[in-house]
Amino acid sequence: MFGKQIGIDLGTVNVIVHVRGKGIVLREPSVVAISLVDNKILAVGDEARAMLGRTPETIEVSRPMQNGVIADYVVTEAMLRYFISKVCNRLERRPEVMISVPVGVTSVESRAVRDAALQAGARVAYLIPEPLAAALGAGMPIGTPTGNMIVDIGGGACEAAVISMCGIVVSSSIRVAGLKIDDSIAAYVRRKYNLIIGEQTAEQIKISIGSALPLEEEMKMEVRGRDQVQGLPRTITITSSEVTDAMAEPLSSIATTVRSVLEKTPPELASDIIDRGMVMAGGGALLRNLDRYLTEETGVPCHIAENPINCTSVGAGRGIEHLPLLKRALEMT
């Protein structure tokens, strides 16, 4: 029996798994809960994320992926094994796996990802640069000699790249993305209202009322947290314009990264990009008005990919089907 062909988007915030012939079969947070008493893994994914910020001292809840690369090898391997076993039947042949990695990873970091996948049960593991996978998943014509620009905004990193002939011509990445935006919202609330809020609350504010540009109709949201002075629970009301101010710095860093790629792009490809525009993928692409913000900052039309969150895992899955074409761009060592 043939083994499954699996594409994995091993993200800082979520792990998304695509199986050839079935599509997206799994999306869970890349969070692991570990018992510090006996060093055993208690929960992975959704179950572990529910424990974030709510555990006693004997349980540690952590993200083994930081900025798109492995921060804790042992925990990442256990997490991968858990997700692969959820997707594959024990009686089946071990799967072929393609995993997306950030574009600027070192050989040590990429070897860690490949080894973790093999130890977790993969028969063979390929690595594909994230922008290439996102462009494939977004359905961009990357095999043609035309310029295709992709901006992939995930949880840990933002990567912008120009792709032509199945390879990355110019790229740039910055470790500022979804989580840094959440941090900036939490810091703003702490600074302005003396209120300490958790990671999940900051993310909820961003999703509910966050916008890269001021909204015509202002939105409001009640936020609960702990008063920094009195130490007691307190509720405040925050507006969408305040959230826009809070996010200004990380969004400016993202725009600078996109601009730096455009500045380095060869003139022939740059003219293609002005015609076609750039495509945004990744969960960060769902932030209100981010496409308009990048268009204003760069002067290049910006479009959001269909289903941006899934682009990278779908592209990793398609990458296995197009292996002969992609061999030039992939690290096959």
Tens-place pLDDT, residues 314-326: 999 998 888 877 7
What is residue 1's predicted lDDT score, i.e. its pLDDT?
Answer: 46
Question: What six digits make up the tokens of 8?
Answer: 């994995």
> With 80 as the cut, is the pLDDT of residue 90 above it?
no
Q: Strands 278-281 and 302-304: what pairing?
A: parallel
- Three-state secondary structure call for residue 273: helix
DSSP-assigned states of every residue in 242-261 = HHHHHTHHHHHHHHHHHHHH
CB distance 202 to 221 below 8 Å: no
What digits encode the pLDDT tens for the residues 116-127? 899 988 899 999
Cα–Cα distance, 198 to 305 (Å, whole number)? 30
> With 60 as the cut, is the pLDDT of residue 331 above it?
no
What is the four-CA torsion angle of 151, 152, 155, 158, rounded to 10 degrees? -50
> With 80 as the cut, is the pLDDT of residue 265 above it?
yes
**Mean pLDDT to the nearest integer, 237-266:** 96
What is residue 328's predicted lDDT score, i.e. its pLDDT?
Answer: 63
What domains are defined for the chain? 5-132+313-326 (3.30.420.40), 145-176+249-306 (3.30.420.40), 184-241 (3.90.640.10)
DSSP-assigned states of every residue in 160-208 = EEEEETTEEEEEEEES-SHHHHHHHHHHHHHHHH-EE--HHHHHHHHHH
**Mean pLDDT to the nearest integer, 71-89:** 87
What is residue 270's predicted lDDT score, i.e. its pLDDT?
Answer: 94
> With 60 as the cut, is the pLDDT of residue 329 above it?
no
DSSP-assigned states of every residue in 109-173 = HHHHHHHHHHHTT-SEEEEEEHHHHHHHHTT--TTSSS-EEEEEE-SS-EEEEEEETTEEEEEEE
Q: Which amino acid is at 269?
A: L
Q: Strands 14-19 and 5-10: what pairing?
A: antiparallel
CB distance 303 to 277 below 8 Å: yes
**Mean pLDDT to the nearest integer, 54-77:** 87
What digits encode the pLDDT tens for the residues 178-219? 999 999 999 999 999 999 999 889 999 999 999 999 999 999
Counting residues of the chain whose pLDDT is more than 90, the rounded percentage is 68
Using alpha carbons, list the distances in angstroms from residue 46 to 20, 27, 201: 24, 9, 16
Q: How far is CA 191 from the centre of its chain?
A: 28
Q: What is the largest CA-CA distance in the chain?
A: 64
Q: What contacts 134, CB < 8 A, 6 or more positions away?
A: 100, 150, 152, 281, 282, 305, 311, 312, 315
What is residue 332's predicted lDDT score, i.e. its pLDDT?
Answer: 44
Q: How many CA atoms lie within 13 A of 177 on its CB side?
A: 28
Nearest one of 97, 98, 34 to 63, comparing CA atoms = 34
**Mean pLDDT to the nearest integer, 240-248:** 96
172 — pLDDT class (breaks 50, 70, 90): very high
Cα–Cα distance, 54 to 112 (Å, whole number)? 30
What is residue 313's predicted lDDT score, i.e. its pLDDT?
Answer: 94
> With 50 as the cut, is the pLDDT of residue 333 above it?
no
In the block, residue with structure tokens 């594909």? 128
169 — pLDDT class (breaks 50, 70, 90): very high
Q: Which of 21-35, 100-114, 177-191, 197-211 has the lowest mean pLDDT?
A: 100-114
What digits encode the pLDDT tens for the residues 125-146? 999 999 999 999 999 998 889 9
Question: What six digits make up the tokens of 39?
Answer: 């060093």
What is residue 74's predicted lDDT score, i.e. its pLDDT?
Answer: 86
What are the helix and strand counts (H, E) for the chain?
A: 12, 18
What is residue 102's predicted lDDT score, i.e. its pLDDT?
Answer: 87
What is residue 323's predicted lDDT score, i.e. its pLDDT?
Answer: 84
Counting residues of the chain whose pLDDT is more than 70, the rounded percentage is 98
> With 90 as the cut, is the pLDDT of residue 2 above it?
no
Interhelix angle 130-137/311-321, rounded to 10 degrees, is: 90
The mean pLDDT value of the chain amounts to: 91
Nearest one of 185, 148, 190, 187 to 305, comparing CA atoms = 148
CB distance 214 to 239 below 8 Å: no
Task: Please tell me the pTM assigned to this model.
Answer: 0.90
